[in-house]
Amino acid sequence: MNFRHKRQKDTHKGDYGHLFILGGSPGLTGAVCLAGNAAMRSGCGLATIGIPASLNAIIEIKMTEAMSLPLPETASGRFSANAAGPALEFINGKADAVLIGPGISTLEETAEFVKKIVEHAEKPLIIDADAITIVSGAKLLLKKRRGAVILTPHPGEMSRLTGLAVKEIQKRREKTAREFADKHDVIVILKGYRTVITDGKNTCMNLTGNPGMATAGSGDVLAGIAGSFLAQGYGAFESAKYAAYIHGLAGDIAAKETGETPLIASDIIEKLPSAFNYSGRKTG
Query: Which residues of the chain register pLDDT less than 50?
Result: 282-284
Using DSSP, state whether 29 is helix, strand or coil.
helix
Residue-by-residue DSSP string for 226-243: HHHHHHHT--HHHHHHHH
pTM metric for this prediction: 0.96
Report how far residue 110's alpha carbon sits from residue 82's, in angstroms, rounded to the nearest whole number.
9
Q: What is the pLDDT of residue 4?
A: 57
Q: What is the pLDDT of residue 2?
A: 55
pLDDT tens digits, one per residue of 148-172: 999 999 999 999 999 999 999 999 9
pLDDT tens digits, one per residue of 80-109: 999 999 999 999 999 999 999 999 999 999
Q: What is the pLDDT of residue 281?
A: 54
Q: What is the pLDDT of residue 255?
A: 98
- The CATH H-level (homologous superfamily) assignment of domain 13-283 is Ribokinase (3.40.1190.20)
Q: What is the pLDDT of residue 278?
A: 85
Q: What is the pLDDT of residue 144?
A: 85
Buried b (16+ CB within 10 A) or exposed e, 61-95: ebbeebebbbbbbbeebbbbbebbeebbebbeeeb
Q: What is the pLDDT of residue 284?
A: 36
